[in-house]
Amino acid sequence: MAALRLWGQEASGNCYKVKLLAAHLGIALEWVRVDVTKGETRTPAFLAMSPAGQVPLLRCADGSHLPESGAILWYLGDGTRFVPTDPLARARVLQWMFFEQYRIEPNIATSRFWIHLLNEADRYAAEIAAKREPGLAALAVMEAHLAAADFFPGGAPSLADIALYGYVPCAPEGGFALDAFPRIRAWAQRVAALSGHIAMHDPLRPPSAYVKGLP
Amino acid sequence: MAALRLWGQEASGNCYKVKLLAAHLGIALEWVRVDVTKGETRTPAFLAMSPAGQVPLLRCADGSHLPESGAILWYLGDGTRFVPTDPLARARVLQWMFFEQYRIEPNIATSRFWIHLLNEADRYAAEIAAKREPGLAALAVMEAHLAAADFFPGGAPSLADIALYGYVPCAPEGGFALDAFPRIRAWAQRVAALSGHIAMHDPLRPPSAYVKGLP
């Protein structure tokens, strides 16, 4: 199969998820860098490919374009070891993927965007404050789940682990310290220890910042 | 199959989606009413079943509980006419389901919650104002898609149409008039005209408010 083209930004956890899954599965991706902070996802040319102006954006084998990290993960991952075959087990993978996009990403990733990527914590102080309680609540739900499971939804690593790993380990960059979440820290280290794992290449972060899967 | 139990609230679009799909598929649901506005999703007993305190919540055939409307829709709908078999077509269904949960629900459903369900538009004026631009942008993405397709992702009705129908037709109750979105209005009427369709039973809305699928 020819390399699939992926438009994305290195420091985006949503883009990193796709790169991480591709690394595990040996899928070749042709990376096209797009800088969200410079409006490069709002140009007419980009919007023609990605109507909501989203990265990651995948060009599929048939030449069409697929946005939404969760949909791209499912497209690349269904039929592999990262998606179970039992219908309820498959639904539980999606349960945690929707959880990630609704409760982790809008709180933790957006806080990290303002603090870490834009370096404008003061300007966005009110927005960041509003994200604090729901972000901590989402992390608490993950921590509770990990009392009885090593992965999401459990047993073996799944697409849900890939999706959650996009932003949860770098939660401290969004002001969410993980010290109070020892099971999440241990889970992140388990995911980072999987054969085939690659770290996020965040140019704003020194490579040495990642130790055992956590910044 | 014994009736599956569904915990939910009538006026919740997320819960309505599941009822709507079940009506189309002839799946019997035992409905258990939970009032979100009275804290009934935050009790210890409910949190033991739904760790993030979410409705809808499905009790599956094996007795376990499944939250997240998108995951419930996939669990009940995969293998039916609402989910295609081609891998890319399946991913595109998920693309629009993730779009709905990330761009429609957090803007339009939350505005509707404050305005219509809580009747506290003044108290939440700042929050509602902040949701306006992203909500309108999401509707514009839907409107553009419908220039070349009758449904989401296209061709035949899919789970994505069921998911989007949860909140989009009642967007006016969240302050988002649909007059500027004629294709969305026509799409909603197409969905409402499908054999097996049921309307949302919102006790805060007179039954006559729904005319041809739109409030």
Best of B47, B68, B90, B139 to disrupt the A interface by mutation (most A CBs within 10 Å)? B68
Q: What pLDDT is recorded for position B201?
A: 84
Task: Note whether A101 contacts B: Cβ–Cβ < 8 A.
Answer: yes
Quote the pLDDT of residue A37. Answer: 87
Those residues with Cβ within 8 angstroms of residue A120's Cβ, 6 or more apart along the chain or in another chain? A114
DSSP B33: E
Q: What is the interface size between A and B, counted as CB pairs within 8 Å?
A: 91
Output the pLDDT for position A203: 78
In A15-74, the residues whose Cβ lies within 8 Å of chain B are 51-52, 60, 62, 64, 66-72, 74
Contact (CB, 8 A) for A144 and A64: no
CA B143 to CA B152: how far, in whole Å?
Answer: 11
Residues of chain A with Cβ-Cβ distance to B74 below 8 Å are: 90-91, 94
Helices and strands of chain A, counted as H and E runs = 8, 4
Query: Residue ranges of chain B with pLDDT lower than 70?
Result: 1-2, 206-215
pLDDT by residue for chain A (215 residues), tens digit each?
Answer: 567 999 999 999 999 999 999 999 999 999 999 998 899 999 999 999 999 999 999 999 899 999 999 999 999 999 999 999 999 999 999 999 999 999 999 999 999 999 999 999 999 999 999 999 999 999 999 999 999 999 999 989 999 999 999 999 999 999 999 999 999 999 999 999 999 999 998 877 765 555 455 55
Judge: A75–B91 Cβ closer than 8 Å, yes or no.
yes
**Beta-carbon separation of A95 and B67 below 8 A:** yes
Read off the DSSP letter of residue B214: B
Q: What sign does the dihedral A70-A74-A77-A81 (CA atoms) show? A: positive
Q: Is A172 on the interface with B (CB under 8 A)?
A: no
Residue A98 is nearest to which of B62, B71, B141, comparing CB atoms? B71
Whether A129 contacts chain B with CB within 8 A: no
- Hey, are the CB atoms on B88 and A99 less than 8 Å from each other? no
Nearest to B88 among A62, A88, A94 (CB): A62
| A94 touches B at CB < 8 Å | yes
Pull the structure tokens for residue B7: 């915990």
Supply the pLDDT for residue A115. Answer: 96
H/E segment holding residue B48? helix B44-49
Which domains does chain B carry? 4-77 (3.40.30.10), 87-198 (1.20.1050.10)
Closest-CA residue in chain B for A79? B87
Please list, residue by residue across A52-70, b when 16 or more beta carbons sit within 10 angstroms of its beta carbon and e when fewer do: bbbbbbbbbeeeeebbbbb
CB contact under 8 A, A98 and B103: no
A136 vs B: CB within 8 A = no
Q: Per residue in A80-119, is it b (16+ CB within 10 Å) or e — as a string?
A: eebbbeeebebbbbbbbbbbbbbbbbbbbbbbbbbbbbee
Six-digit token pair at B20?
Answer: 């709507």
Residues across chain A: 215
Contact A75 B88 (CB under 8 A): yes
DSSP output for A113-153: IIIIIS--TTTTHHHHHHHHHHHHHHHHHHHHHTTS-SSSS
- Are the CB atoms for B50 and B67 separated by under 8 Å? yes
The pLDDT value recorded for residue A2 is 66
Residue A95 exposure: Cα atoms within 13 Å on the Cβ side: 26
Q: What is the pLDDT of residue A19?
A: 97
Whole-model pTM: value is: 0.96
From chain B, pick out residues whose CB is under 8 angstroms from the CB of A94.
Answer: 68, 70-71, 74, 94
Question: Which pLDDT does position B166 carry in this prediction?
Answer: 97
Helix (H) or strand (E) run with residue B130 in it: helix B125-145
- Does the distance separating the beta carbons of B67 and A92 come in below 8 Å? no
A50 to A30, B14, B190: CA distances (angstroms) = 17, 26, 26
